Amino acid sequence: MAKKKEPKKTAPAQNAYIAGSGEVVEEKITDTLEKNYMPYAMSVIVSRALPEIDGFKPSHRKLLYTMYKMGLLTGNKTKSANIVGQTMKLNPHGDAAIYETMVRMARGNEALLHPYVDSKGNFGKAYSRDMAYAASRYTEAKLAPICAELFHDIDKDTVDFVPNYDNETVEPTLLPASFPSILCNSNMGIAVSMASNVCSFNLEEICEAAIGLIKNPDYNLFSVLKGPDFPGGGFMIYDEPELEKIYRTGRGSIKVRSKYNYDPQAHCIEITEIPPTTTIEQIKDKIVDLAKSGKVREISYIRDESDLNGLKIAIDVKKGTDPDALMKRLFKLTPLQDAFSCNFNILVGGYPKVMGVYEILTEWTAFRKECVKRRVHYDLTKKKEKLHLLLGLKKILLDVDKAIKIVRETEDDNEVVPNLMIGFGIDEIQAEYVAEIKLRHLNKEYIINRLAETDQLQKDIAEMEEILGNDRKILDIIVSELKEVIKKYGQPRKTQFCYVDDEEDDSPEDDTPDYPVHLFISKEGYFKKITPQSLRMSGEQKLKDGDVMESAFEATNRTELLFFTDKCQVYKSRASEFSDTKASALGDYVPVKLEFEPDENVVAMHPTTDYSGFMFLVFENGKCAKVPMNVFETKTNRKKLTKAFSDKSRLVRIFFIPDNADIMLTSTKGRAVIFNTALVLPKTTRDTIGVQCMTLKAGALVENAYIIPEEKLSEMTKYVMKSIPATGCLAKDITDPDQLTL
């Protein structure tokens, strides 16, 4: 009998409504995603989140163009609320979103190296999280002078215009910026499945770089473009290989360090410039946390002294503190030194593309070249039209009396133009122009001026036609415009360079004070760190009712602590993170101190300084695991390790063994077995299930486990097994197993 063919598996289906039919049919979810989600994703990518080659996202462009049409390039400032309202004709978003866009472009916010909006009032600060901007009804704005370069000849068909969302007006698809604005101001956006993060460069340097590439495609940008220039200043740690990577690929990371000075009289460090990726509040919070945890002890007070004069964070330090050494540590421990991740993802021709600085400048040159061509073509068309009219006038001026006679003898007004066309052999457009000339203009001076203008127009037209036919001349125009921009708007660098020694240790210097301590952990999870002197002077250990002391260790204040929990996790901490206490105190409750999960408790604690030795785990099912300590070591400062040990069976005991030891297991059926841990091979996987060490009878479980001291081993030879797994012997004669523990 033939085997029945199984139906082909398809994507899950969902109900879909067919418009106009009143029917609901099943539709594949993949089809729904393709019809509904993909258009949304593409819209976010090409019409919202990513900047285009002119340097703007649609929201920026719509706002600036609205201000341009309002006459705010040369006029007086107007209320921001008025600008926001007018922008809604192009941007169908709420007033809050539009105003926030304007705030970021404003001079007062200090987010851009070259602000596009000249502002008046409180526009907040980009370097402060809490310094909020005022409402739009209180602030005023107009376009900054540099915007003249963004709208350079925009009315001469330099860029395409499209209808706005309700077809009431038109807006430009791009702005014909006469300088590479895409690289002169930072821009960040998150789209669907992709993002963009463009840093700013010095205007003069980037224009010189564009000129260099126009003249020589193999031009080395490092000769003029030293690196990014951030609006907040600071020091960029110079890394030429990383910069080369950014210039070539558009991806890379730039480290920026804060600028500071020290006042020895007041013992105060003043920070005046910070990286662009952080805020005053983030820096303060981190420094306060370091001071509270004892990692930085030289700081006595920190405050924000930012005012109308600019940013300032004041850090009061204790007498005798080396400010440079302190700042060196703070650079490593706080956002006072931070990294800017570059991702130059830009829309070109409607498609996102990650490009380096070389390629971006090449694409911008091609874009600008097209703008100049269109402008020249527009001017050429206008001049040809004017020349055409003047050539018609020239024919009339050769015999003005004849023209006057034709006009006087024409009875019907509608026949004036046709009669002039017949009388002088000119076309309708020329005849219309001649017919509209005032009688007072038919003098000798007017005639001479018009004839001279004709000669000039012919020269201009010949020159423009030559430009359109020669790309080199168009590039010369672009170069001359870039030089003019440098002359008008160039400014000194704000971000300076810092050259750090390559051999400088990247790991933060550990300044934690080191001294001997005694560590205690109770069964309920209370931890105490007591100095030897305090312990000698103390009496009995204070514990909660029913609680007992589980373990005690001699260690130092820099010792790292591993807390194993009943949810198969390890929480890592340091002895220095706990306060010194006395035996008469309850101590710190570890689940609260280390923010355990609900109902999670400590089962064991182990201190270590070098992660040597092994952790030996005994499970209820008779299996044991020997795991090297170094598997719990992490290069990063992770505070929690999940899957720290196996959850296949309940953990009975966990021991630290420096090398090997003799372990005794006892079962609920009254049996015991002793074996050396050398019989158990170490496993480098933390959550290994281990190997069977005790063979259990039906219904039996491992009840407890102990480390047997060498002096006790001779008394228990009948339980010692040379191989595992083993069933063991009846252990009725072992009266007090707790006496066997160390």
Contacts of 669 (CB under 8 A, 6+ apart): 696, 697, 699, 700
Instruction: Retrieve residue 233's tokens.
Output: 């200043």
Whole-Å CA distances, 140 to 101, 274, 519: 14, 28, 64
Q: Decide if pLDDT at 509 tops 70.
A: no
pLDDT over 50 at 3, yes or no: no
On the CB side of 411, CA atoms within 13 Å amount to 0
Helices 444-468 and 471-489, packing angle to 10 deg? 100
Buried b (16+ CB within 10 A) or exposed e, 86-115: bbebbbeeeeeebbbbbbbbbbbbbbbbbb
Measured CA to CA, the distance from residue 419 to residue 434 in angstroms comes to 12
pLDDT at 636: 67
CA separation for the pair 31, 25 (Å, rounded): 13
Q: Find out whether 261 and 272 touch, Cβ atoms under 8 Å.
A: yes
Q: Give first-to-last CA distance, the chain, whole Å.
A: 74
Rounded Cα–Cα distance for residues 736 and 715 (Å): 14
Query: Which domains, ranges and CATH numbers included, belong to the chain?
Result: 56-176 (3.90.199.10), 259-335 (3.30.1360.40), 367-489 (1.10.268.10), 512-607 (no CATH), 610-742 (2.120.10.90)
Most confident region among 133-137, 574-578, 665-669, 721-725 by mean pLDDT? 133-137
Greatest mean pLDDT among 214-228, 288-302, 633-647, 725-739 lies in 214-228
Phi/psi-derived region of residue 348, left when phi > 0, alpha when psi is between -120 and 50, beta in every other case: beta
Backbone angles phi, psi at 342, to 5 degrees: -85, 135
530-564 in b/e form (b: 16+ CB < 10 A) is bbeebeeeeeebebeeeeeebeebebbbebbbbbb
Q: How confident is the model at residue 505 (pLDDT cuts 50, 70, 90)?
A: very low
138 in catalytic set:
yes
- Mean pLDDT, rounded, for 529-545: 85
198 is written with which tokens?
């463009």
Q: What is the token pair recorded at 677?
A: 């841990």
Decide: 609 and 629 in contact? Cβ < 8 Å: no
Give the neighbor-by-neighbor strand order of the sheet with 78-79.
78-79, 140-143, 117-120
- The one catalytic residue in 37, 40, 138, 165 is 138
**Confidence check: pLDDT of 252 > 90:** yes
Tokens coding 150: 């963004």
For position 742, what pLDDT does the model report? 32
pLDDT tens readout for residues 654-709: 989 888 888 999 988 888 999 998 888 888 888 888 999 998 888 889 988 888 88
DSSP state of 499: -
> Which of 164, 192, 170 shows the shortest CA–CA distance to 50?
192
DSSP 317-380: E-TT--HHHHHHHHHHHSTTEEEEEEE-EEEETTEEEE--HHHHHHHHHHHHHHHHHHHHHHHH
**pLDDT attached to residue 391:** 85
Lowest mean pLDDT among 191-200, 446-455, 655-664: 446-455
CA dist 412 and 408 (Å) reads: 10
Alpha carbon distance 103, 143 (integer Å): 12
Question: Among candidates 366, 483, 474, which has minimal Cα distance to 54?
Answer: 366
Assigned token pair, 521 = 């952990």
Give the span between the Cα atoms of 527 and 576, in whole angstroms: 13
β-strand pairing of 496-498 with 235-237: parallel
Question: Using CA atoms, how far apart are residues 596 and 544, in angstroms rounded to an integer?
Answer: 20
Chain segment 562-575, per-residue pLDDT in tens: 999 988 899 988 88
Task: Return the exposure string of 307-331: e unless at least 16 CB atoms fall within 10 Å of the residue's CB, then b.
Answer: eeeebebbbbbeeebebeebbebbb
Residues 373, 469 contacting (CB under 8 angstroms): no
Per residue in 38-47, pLDDT (tens digit) is 888 888 998 8
- SS3 state at 553: strand
